[in-house]
Structure formats: structure tokens, C-alpha cells
Amino acid sequence: MDGITRSPDEQALVKMAHRVLPAGNFGNFASDIIIRGGRGGRVWDVSGNEYVDFLLGSGPMFIGHAHPEVTEAVLAQVPRGTTFFANNEHGIRLAEEIAAALPCAEQVRFVSSGTEADMYAMRLARAFRKRDRILKFEGGYHGMSDWGLMSLAPKRLANFPVAVPDSAGIPRSAREEVLVAPFNDLDAAKALIAAHHDELGGVILEPFQRLIPPVPGFLEGIRAITAEYGIPLIFDEVVTGFRFAYGGAQSYYGVTPDLCTLGKIIGGGFPLAAIAGRADIMAHFDKGIVGEDGFLMQVGTLSGNPVASVAGLATLEVLKRPGAYEAVFATGRSLMDGLQALIRKAGLPAQLVGVPVLFDVVFTADEVRNYRDVLKADAALQKHFNTQLRAGGILKGESKYYLSTAHTEADIEQTLQAFAGAIAVLPKRR
């Protein structure tokens, strides 16, 4: 496939994976590469090949792999115990830090994954509002629950607000509980919310949807109409929390939701996620306040475990330091500018979509404002570049460059060279 060689050990592990794992992988990434380790902004596979890593474990490693301060904190905690199914000091301190950082966060409840956080946030909104339906936005990813997997990446487009299941095994009844609106179309979203306001338990959206920034006024407009009807607004900040700013995308864009979900960065590379928000809504986790009928039961064996909590606290301590965000945004902007220059010189029908800490090249000349615009992009060209980048020692997902504070000028230069190499071997276009 590329110029990277695979050792007998790695080839044997790939065969073993295909024997014992469905599709030969964990359900996340390609099965032909097996990572052995990482440090800073780079990873190495079992064969010893080195990559500049823009996958970053799908985003958690925002301060780089094996950061010495995170490693020190984890190694100090492990001999003291790894989980207790009871409150621990580090989890409490992490909740306090989150509450201090995020505008919407008066209280915090920990879980172990972003899927859980989004599922519980939607359930929490329904419990508070005493309504069953959730409105989400087409193309928005809210985890693997039945409600989350509606119109994330529909192959068959439907008229709004009809929801399209993204997976087998989702009951038909779940479709009736989810309404779908177009992202970045405020008039359409407002009309749907107004028409269905008495049925809605909540509205959930990624304030920055996958790669797509909100157009001016969109978040503000959604905030205003949900507030008008008393509908809880949920920001899914599993990706953007502590990435766009220390106060998350809600701080970055200046729009405060009623609830938000967090993950990835707050666990420092360990399984940890959270729901945070207004105390009167979060009270539904407390039977003593809301009573039996209003109580939302939530139990998780590893929720808020001390190892993930110390890793999260150490990560946030690094990010609080002056200049941390300015530096990572500058690194990302340098890469975006370099890629844009190469695209322009080659005359490619492509553009950079996103912000400097999270973006990708989308191979279309048309404006990208929503999921349906992304569908118009040249998928074959995207695959070519991703394949050639891997051959040049660049690891990234199918869509997204995740930037970290650990990426260096040398990493950016290697990436630009690999991208130029991919341009040089472009297949002939008709």
C-alpha cells in the first residue's frame, strides 16, 4: 500500500486481530497498523515506523502522549488504588475545576465515556422538562446510544425533521423520539423548535459540528429560542471542551447552554467523561431533592475513578498556564496556512474547514456549512491524500487533524512535505 514496511511481528498481530476481533479492529481505526507507543506529538507502530500523530487517540491527547506531568501523577496514584466505587479526593477536585472553568457548570456528574455523557444529558433534559422528544442537528455526533445514532451520517437523506437511524439494531420507536434540523440554518431550526416546543425535552448540538464552525448568530439564535420556550439546551463538548479554550466552546463562542457534556481531554488519556450544568437540572440525579418520580438513576463502576481524575487534573494544570492556547492555535494556524498555500498552488478544488486546533482539508470548491455540503466533497481524493500522508509518516483520521500542544515546527514541516508529495502523485482527473 505504501513505502512503510511491516515487520513479521506486526503482520502476525494483524492476522491475530482478524481472527479474534470483528473486522480485525476495535471498531475505531484501520486494522493494518498497530501502535506500540507514543511520546509528545508522535507515535510508533510495532514495526518501528514513526508518525507525526494528528489522530491523538481521537482527541484526548491534547498535551501530547506520555506527558511527564500526567505520567508522574498517574504513577503516584496507581500504588494507592485504581478505583473504589466511592468518592475520591481527585474526582472531587476535578469536578471543582470543571465547575470553575465552564460557564454553564454549576454541578458535575462523572461517567466513563462520551456516549454515556450524551445519553444521560438527553435523559436528564427529558426528566427536567417532562417531555420525551429530543431535537438534534443532522451530521451531529452524540455517541452510540439509539438516540445519538440518528442522522449522524445518513446515506439516504430525509426531509427534516425525520430521523434516519445510522445503525442496525435501533428500534423503530427511537426514530419517533428524535427530531432532526439542519445545522447552521437558524430559520429552519427555529421553525422546528417553535412547532414542536411542547413535545421537546431538550435540544442537543455540537457548538462546532465535527469540522464545521457555527455561522455568526446561529448559536445565539438557538440559545434564544430554547430559552424562550424553557427547553434545556445541551452543548456536546466531548470534543471541544478544554480544546477551543479553557472554558470550552461555550466560552470561545460566548454562548452558555443549560447543560454540556465533556470527555476526551478531561481524562488525560484515561476513560472519563462528564455531564455538567445548571444545579436545578442536575438535581434530578439527587433523589433527596426531586423525589422518586423525578429521580434519574445513574451508576457507573469506574465513574470518576482516581487514576483518570489525576490524569485529567494534571492535563488541565498544563492547559491553565499562560500562553498554552495561544501556542497551540499558532501551530495549527501555521499548518493550515501551509496546506492552503499548497492547495492554491496545485489548483485543487479544496478548502480548509475548521479552526486551528481541529480541522481538515475538504475536497470541494463549494462552501461547507452543514453535513449535506460535506457529502458533495470528493471522497476518492480524500482517500488518496490520507493514504499518501500515511506513507509519508503522517497519522490522521479519515477526517480531522487534531493539533496538540506537543506538535513542533518539525512536525508541521514533515506534514507539509507529505502533503506536497501526495499532490505530486495525484491520479489523473478527467
Tens digits of residue pLDDT in 305-324:
999 999 999 999 999 999 99
CA distance 427 to 421: 12
What is the pLDDT, as a whole number, of residue 427?
A: 81
166 a catalytic residue: no
What is the pLDDT, as a whole number, of residue 4?
A: 85
Q: Which of 45, 53, 118, 236 is catalytic?
A: 236
State the cell numbers at 271: 476513560
Domains and CATH numbers, the chain: 8-66+323-424 (3.90.1150.10), 68-319 (3.40.640.10)
State the cell numbers at 56: 491523538
CA distance 146 to 122: 11
Residues of the chain with pLDDT under 70: 1-3, 429-430
* Max CA pair span of the chain: 68
pLDDT in tens, 359-409: 999 999 999 999 999 999 999 999 999 999 999 999 999 999 999 999 999
State the cell numbers at 111: 461517567
What is the pLDDT, as a whole number, of residue 430?
A: 39
246 a catalytic residue: no
Question: How many CA atoms are closer than 13 Å to the CA of 133, on its beta-carbon side?
Answer: 19
Q: Which of 264, 325, 360, 371 is catalytic?
A: 264
DSSP assignments along 102-136, one per residue: -TT-SEEEEESSHHHHHHHHHHHHHHHHT--EEEE
Q: Which of 45, 53, 136, 141 is catalytic?
A: 141
Contact status, residue 208 vs residue 244, Cβ threshold 8 Å: yes
Contacts within 8 Å (CB) and 24+ apart, 47-51: 47/4, 47/5, 47/6, 47/7, 47/9, 47/10, 48/7, 49/4, 49/5, 49/393, 50/393, 51/390, 51/393, 51/394, 51/395
Task: Pick the closest to residue 161 from 121, 197, 126, 109 (CA basis).
Answer: 197
What is the pLDDT, as a whole number, of residue 1?
A: 39
CA distance 36 to 44: 6
What is the pLDDT, as a whole number, of residue 3?
A: 66
236 a catalytic residue: yes
